[in-house]
Amino acid sequence: MTSRVKAFLEGGPEDLPARIVPITPPGIEIRIPFKGGYEHFKVTPRHEETPEGRLPVYEWISRTETPDA
């Protein structure tokens, strides 16, 4: 049985489509594609109780833009 690891995202743009996201494999930093760039989140020592269980909290740290193609 395979279970997907998920994280709770804190901070960043208010209009992110999801605050609970799968992470594979879990690491120190994740980036989420959003509106022509990436939102960067870093793991914290905290956890959040969510409808999907107790999840690690990743806090927003920065945004990078994707160059125009």
The verdict on residue 51 lying in a domain is: yes
The verdict on residue 47 lying in a domain is: yes
Nearest partner of 28 among 39, 16, 40, judged by Cα: 40
Q: Is 53 exposed, middle or buried (0-12, 13-18, 19+ CB in 10 A)?
A: exposed
Residue range 19-57, pLDDT digits in tens: 999 998 778 999 999 999 999 999 999 999 999 999 999
The verdict on residue 1 lying in a domain is: no
In which domain, by residue range, is 27 found? 6-65
From the DSSP assignment, how many helices (H) and strands (E) are in the chain? 0, 5
Q: Is the pTM of this model over 0.85?
A: yes
d(CA 33, CA 15): 13
The verdict on residue 39 lying in a domain is: yes
The token pair that represents 20 in the structure block: 């609970």
- pLDDT in the model for residue 24: 81
Please state the domain count of the chain. 1
